[in-house]
Amino acid sequence: MKLAKGDIEDTPAQEIITDSKILSRDLKKLLIEYIEEQEKAGSKDRVNNGAILANGNLLSNES
C-alpha cells in the first residue's frame, strides 16, 4: 500500500486526471457495448418467444 501511495504522490495531478478521464471513457464505451449486446440478445429472445403467424392466424407460444 505504501508503494501505491508513493506512486500517487509522485504522479502529477494533471496526469492522474487525464488517466482517470481515459479510464472513465473506456469504461463507458465497454458499458455501452455490453448494453447493446444485451439488447440484441433480448431481441433474439423476443423473436424466438414471440408470436408466430401460421395460416393467417396469430399464434403465441407464450404462456
Residue pLDDT, tens place only, 18-44: 889 989 999 999 999 999 999 888 876
Can you give the three-state secondary structure of the chain, one letter per residue?
CHHHHHHHHHCCHHHHHHHHHHHHHHHHHHHHHHHHHHHHHHHHHHHHHCEEEECCEEEECCC
Tell me the C-alpha distance between 26 and 31, whole Å: 9
Side-chain-side CA neighbours of residue 45 (13 Å): 6
Q: What pTM value is reported for the model?
A: 0.49
Given a contact cutoff of 8 angstroms between Cβ atoms, the answer to whether 59 and 51 are in contact is yes
The residue ranges of every structural domain in the chain are 8-44
